[in-house]
Amino acid sequence: MAISSSTRRDFLRGTTAVCGGLAAPGIVFATQQQPAAKETEKPKGDEGISPAEDLMREHGVLNRILLIYDEHLRLLSAKRPFDGSVLASAADLVRHFVEEYHEKLEEEFLFPRFRKAGKLVKLVDTLLAQHKAGRELTAQIRELGALGTFKYVSDRDKLADALHAFLRMYRPHEAREDTVLFPAFRSVVSGHEYDALGEDFEKKEDELFGEDGFFKVVDQVAQLEKKLGLYELSQFTPK
């Protein structure tokens, strides 16, 4: 018997409805069975930052140490006694974190790439010379600063001179790197290389200072600030 076209359409609509009714629960069930998507884990510590950002925040650590040096220079000028272990510890942080880590990154990964590209070569030469001068000053500050009290006036004067020279050199030094060298670094490396260096910097930091090493160093600086009464930021607000 022939089936009319309208009957066929009614049949197809009916079967589609039935199949749809059967299929829908299956879809819902499958969706319910899927495990909930895990929340994206936030990067631990200092992961996922660019090389320039990494270097700039390390300058923040240096700036806080320079404040500690400022305070000791003030105490020396006023001929007031101080705990030599605090200044010696600050100099040790400069030696291990700034000179042996931060500056080594610049010297091994940044300076050669600028020279190869023929960009900012004169600036790089000056920065390198200042690194060398800074290491000599740090040795003097570490040796004389540990005394705390001075048998000879000349030793007090030598320490004051070394602190003053270090402060005078490193403030424009780091400012020039932050505003000229680091922003230009992207122009001498590929995007892939730039990102890879960020990961290399983090690995090196963890190797030398442990996991979240940057934050551990920041905490060490904070402890020295507290001993000197410099930790509370509000004290620097003009009244």
Place of tokens 């424009």: 172
What does the alpha-carbon distance between residue 158 and residue 163 come to, in Å, rounded to a whole number?
Answer: 9
Class of residue 168 by CB neighbours under 10 A (exposed 0-12, middle 13-18, buried 19+): exposed
Rg value, the chain, Cα: 31
What does the alpha-carbon distance between residue 98 and residue 43 come to, in Å, rounded to a whole number?
Answer: 24
- Cβ proximity of 37 and 56 under 8 Å: no
Answer whether residue 126 shows pLDDT above 90: yes
**Residue 152 — pLDDT band, cuts 50, 70, 90?**
confident
CA distances from 18 to 7, 8, 22 (A): 17, 15, 6
CB atoms within 10 A of CB 10: 12
What does the alpha-carbon distance between residue 148 and residue 86 come to, in Å, rounded to a whole number?
Answer: 9
Show the domains of the chain with their CATH numbers: 51-226 (1.20.120.520)
Cα three-residue angle 176-217-174, rounded to 5 degrees: 5
What are 193-211's pLDDT values in tens digits?
Answer: 999 998 889 888 989 999 8
What residues contact residue 199 under an 8 Å CB cut-off, 6+ apart? none
DSSP state of 188: G
**Residue 150 — pLDDT band, cuts 50, 70, 90?**
confident
pLDDT higher for 214 or 148? 214
Cα three-residue angle 174-176-180, rounded to 5 degrees: 130
What are 164-203's pLDDT values in tens digits?
Answer: 999 999 999 999 999 999 999 999 999 999 999 988 898 8
What does the alpha-carbon distance between residue 180 and residue 43 come to, in Å, rounded to a whole number?
Answer: 29
What are 14-60's pLDDT values in tens digits?
Answer: 444 434 443 434 433 333 444 444 444 334 444 578 999 999 999 99
pLDDT higher for 214 or 49? 214
DSSP state of 127: H
- Cβ proximity of 56 and 110 under 8 Å: no
